[in-house]
């Protein structure tokens, strides 16, 4: 009896381990901090009543966490063997086990703070591996059972398949670990990095209008929106980074990280936003960037009068074409090395990215940038321009209501409204709010250090009982009033007025 059951249990265990390995490797490659097993362990810790946790710690000391992970793995092995044995019955029975474990993992991963869509991927990869590998092994077993005369040959086939699964499982887990180790190395050198000339500074107090619920004027790095096409984040150690500047220049150069940070450091508050931001959306942030002005660099190299753009390429093969004029005029277009006084986070372009005030990110803000070709728009076409977006991407004037939130109930009478407005490199002259199509009321504005940042606004209006529609519009320092005409984000940025519905009682 045991000899008949063992291969079935073994098939389940091998398939299970193969799925754990692919999911672990996926988590490492995607640089997700927690692989699903760790997420489950963390959930167990969170769900363990304090007294029990203390008991565990007093008995196990620092071994509490390894013991927990080991315990989870032992339970998983039991489940895997169980799934294997279930395969002797109907084909779908083991699926119940795979689905149940995947659901548990999913619940654990989603309960983590700041988990997103990509965090689910390792579980998906693991589940697919379970089903695929397990059916292959079960197939090999079944064929052996149906044709007893072939049993010994089929057993050899099964053992070979099982051996191959075991070897690739170890290899995949090892490769995942290796990739993860590379990332950990870059992350630790990032954390230890001190860049001369990079300072930490609080935002000027007058930038805040003091109304709770408005996005903070300074966006914390961990809250800054992230947009890129990278599946696995490029991890580049500063000593491995360089930027080649070539094309229509008198002198071509390749800058190392040391060369770059040895130059004059410029620090400036700049709001960056994504062309895909919908009216009222959150793909925008404002931080203090530190870096080297691109205008000064290019002036040193001598740019040909024929050039009108710089074609930028990133380490991960993304590219965009940026108008030369925006890189060489008086604005602080820079090769940024720090965000809010800290080396760029890896997901925001470590070690070096471009930031250009007044342009959407898709035509300017190349993360992990490694190549600048000074050239012309005739020949240079950016990644998103290739897909139908505009070649030039100046930021459109926009404004957003942060308080109250649409759908909120408020007390009738005096109601405070507030939010942000932006038109980088032109500046905001005024913000106006309108209730139910009535008169436009001017809001108070926070102070800003330059025209390159967003502005907080707030206004208190008398709101009678009932349901109301509230809209906001901004007026630029150039006199342009934000349009109410609705446009989609493509091809060059959304327009329309952010409108909320509130109910006063
Ligand atoms: N390498 C690389 N850089 C990139 C992108 C990208 O996909 N790859 N996306 C751009 C876009 S569309 C935007 S809006 C900004 C977003 O920068 P963030 O993720 O730091 O907010 O990066 C830009 N730089
Ligand atoms: Mo973007």
Rounded Cα distance between 334 and 356, Å, is 7
Rounded Cα distance between 307 and 294, Å, is 15
pLDDT band at 117 (very low <50, low <70, confident <90, very high): confident
Cβ of 365 less than 6 Å from ligand 1:
yes
CA of 95 to the centre of ligand 2 (A): 40
List pLDDT tens digits, range 160-187: 878 888 888 888 888 877 777 778 889 8
β-bridge pairing 441-442 and 309-314: unpaired
Average pLDDT (100-127) is 82
Cβ of 229 less than 6 Å from ligand 1:
yes
pLDDT band at 62 (very low <50, low <70, confident <90, very high): low
pTM of the model: 0.76
CA of 153 to the centre of ligand 2 (A): 58
Q: Which ligand is nearest to the CA of 229?
A: 1
Rounded Cα distance between 327 and 333, Å, is 5
On whether the CB atoms of residues 488 and 271 are closer than 8 A, the answer is no
Rounded Cα distance between 72 and 66, Å, is 10
On whether the CB atoms of residues 123 and 102 are closer than 8 A, the answer is yes
Domain with CATH 3.90.420.10 in the chain: 205-387
In sequence order, what are the beta bridge partners of 258? none
Please tell me the total number of residues recorded for the chain in this structure. Answer: 505
Residue whose Cα lies nearest atom 10 of ligand 1: it is 362
Mean pLDDT check: name the lowest of 1-5, 347-351, 366-370.
Answer: 1-5
On whether the CB atoms of residues 303 and 324 are closer than 8 A, the answer is yes
pLDDT of residue 2: 46
Cβ of 221 less than 6 Å from ligand 1:
no
Per DSSP, 167 falls in state H
Cβ of 311 less than 6 Å from ligand 1:
no
Pocket test for ligand 1, best of 234, 362, 394 (most atoms within 8 A of CB): 362
- Give me the CATH topology for the region 398-504: Immunoglobulin-like (2.60.40)
On whether the CB atoms of residues 426 and 476 are closer than 8 A, the answer is yes
Q: Quick check: 462 pLDDT over 80? A: yes
Q: Which ligand is nearest to the CA of 225?
A: 1
In sequence order, what are the beta bridge partners of 413? 463
pLDDT band at 349 (very low <50, low <70, confident <90, very high): very high
Question: What spatial distance separates the first Cα and last Cα of the chain, rounded to whole Å?
Answer: 75
CA of 365 to the centre of ligand 1 (A): 6
Rg (CA), the chain: 29
What are 44-51's contacts with CB under 8 Å, separation 24+?
44/68, 44/72, 46/111
List pLDDT tens digits, range 247-293: 999 999 999 999 999 999 999 999 999 999 999 999 999 999 999 99
Task: Give the burial string for 353-379 (b: 16+ CB within 10 Å, else e).
Answer: bbbbbbbbbbbbbbbbbbbbbbbbbee
Cβ of 286 less than 6 Å from ligand 1:
no
Domain with CATH 2.60.40.650 in the chain: 398-504
Reply yes or no on domain 205-387 having CATH 3.40.718.10. no
Other beta carbons less than 10 A from residue 44's beta carbon: 15
pLDDT of residue 401: 98
For residue 48, what are the CA distances in angstroms to 45, 54, 76, 81, 487?
Answer: 5, 10, 19, 27, 51
Rounded Cα distance between 472 and 421, Å, is 9
Query: Of 286, 182, 291, 287, which Cα lies nearest the Cα of 243?
Result: 291
For residue 295, say if its preceding peptide bond is cis, omega within 30 degrees of 0: no
List pLDDT tens digits, range 210-243: 999 999 999 999 999 999 877 667 889 999 999 9
Helix (H), strand (E) counts: the chain: 10, 19
Cβ of 348 less than 6 Å from ligand 1:
yes
């Amino acid at each position: 009896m045991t000899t008949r059951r063992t291969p079935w249990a073994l098939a389940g265990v091998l398939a299970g381990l193969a799925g754990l390995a692919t999911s672990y490797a996926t988590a490492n490659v995607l640089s997700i901090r927690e692989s699903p097993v760790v997420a489950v362990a963390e959930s167990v810790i969170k769900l363990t009543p304090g007294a029990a946790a203390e008991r565990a710690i007093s008995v196990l000391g620092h071994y509490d966490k390894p013991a927990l992970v080991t315990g989870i793995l032992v339970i998983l092995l039991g489940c895997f063997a169980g799934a294997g044995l279930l395969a002797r019955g109907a084909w779908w029975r083991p699926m119940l086990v795979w689905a149940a474990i995947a659901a548990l993992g999913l619940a654990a991963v989603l309960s983590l703070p700041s988990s997103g869509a990509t965090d689910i991927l390792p579980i998906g990869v693991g589940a697919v591996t379970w089903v695929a590998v397990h059916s292959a092994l079960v197939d090999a077993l079944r064929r052996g059972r149906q044709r007893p005369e072939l049993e010994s040959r089929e057993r050899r086939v099964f053992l070979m398949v099982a051996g191959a699964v075991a070897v690739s499982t170890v290899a995949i887990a090892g490769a995942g670990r290796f990739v993860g180790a590379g990332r950990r190395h870059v992350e630790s050198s990032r954390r230890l990095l001190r860049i001369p000339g990079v300072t930490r500074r609080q935002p000027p107090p007058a930038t805040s209008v003091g109304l709770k619920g408005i996005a903070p004027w300074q966006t914390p790095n961990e809250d800054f929106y992230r947009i890129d096409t990278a599946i696995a984040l490029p991890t580049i150690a500063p000593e491995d980074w360089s930027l080649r500047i070539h094309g229509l220049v008198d002198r071509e150069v390749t800058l190392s990280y040391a060369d770059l940070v040895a130059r004059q450091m410029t620090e400036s508050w700049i709001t960056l936003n994504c062309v895909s931001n919908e009216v009222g959306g959150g793909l925008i942030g404002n931080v203090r960037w530190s870096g080297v002005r691109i205008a000064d660099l290019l002036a040193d190299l001598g740019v040909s009068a024929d050039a009108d753009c710089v074609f930028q390429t990133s380490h991960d093969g993304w590219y965009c074409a940026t108008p030369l004029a925006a890189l060489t005029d008086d604005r602080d277009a820079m090769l940024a090395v720090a965000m809010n006084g800290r080396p760029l986070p890896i997901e925001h372009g470590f070690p070096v990215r471009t930031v250009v005030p007044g342009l959407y990110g898709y035509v300017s803000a190349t993360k992990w940038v490694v190549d600048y070709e000074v050239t012309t728009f005739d020949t240079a076409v950016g990644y998103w321009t290739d897909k139908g977006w505009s070649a030039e991407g100046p930021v459109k004037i926009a404004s957003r209501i942060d308080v109250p939130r649409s759908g909120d109930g408020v007390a009738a009478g005096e109601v405070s409204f507030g939010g942000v407005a932006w038109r980088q490199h032109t500046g905001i002259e005024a913000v106006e709010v309108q209730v139910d199509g009535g008169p436009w009321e001017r809001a108070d504005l926070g102070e800003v250090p330059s025209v390159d940042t967003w502005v907080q606004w707030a206004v208190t209006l008398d709101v009678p009982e009932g349901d109301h529609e509230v809209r906001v519009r901004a007026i630029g320092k150039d006199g342009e009033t934000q349009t109410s005409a609705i446009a989609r984000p493509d091809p060059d940025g959304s327009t329309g007025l952010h409108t909320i519905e509130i109910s006063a009682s």
